[in-house]
Amino acid sequence: MPPVIIPPEFRARIAGRPALPGRSPDGGAWLARLPHLIAEYLERWRLRVDGEPRSGENALVVPVLRASGEQAAVKLTWPHPEAEWEHLALRLWEGKGAVRMLAADPREQVLLLERLDADRPLTREFVIDACEVVGSLMLALDLAAPPQVESLASRAGRLRDGAADPTPLVPRRLQDQAHSTVVDLLTDPPPARLVHEDLHDANVLAPIGPGRGEWLAIDPK
Residue 126, classed as helix, strand or coil, is: coil
Distance from C-alpha of 50 to C-alpha of 53, rounded to nearest angstrom: 9
How close are the terminal C-alpha atoms of the chain, in Å? 33
The answer for residues whose C-beta is within 8 angstroms of residue 38's C-beta and 6 or more apart is 3, 4, 60, 62, 74, 76
Known active-site residue 198: yes
Task: Give residue 131's Cα distance to chain centre.
Answer: 19
The answer to whether 198 and 91 have CB atoms below 8 angstroms apart is: no
Kindly name the residue from 119, 198, 201, 219 that is annotated as catalytic: 198
Angle between helices 8-15 and 27-44 (to 10 degrees): 130
Instruction: Name the residue type at position 120.
Output: R
Catalytic positions, written as ranges = 198
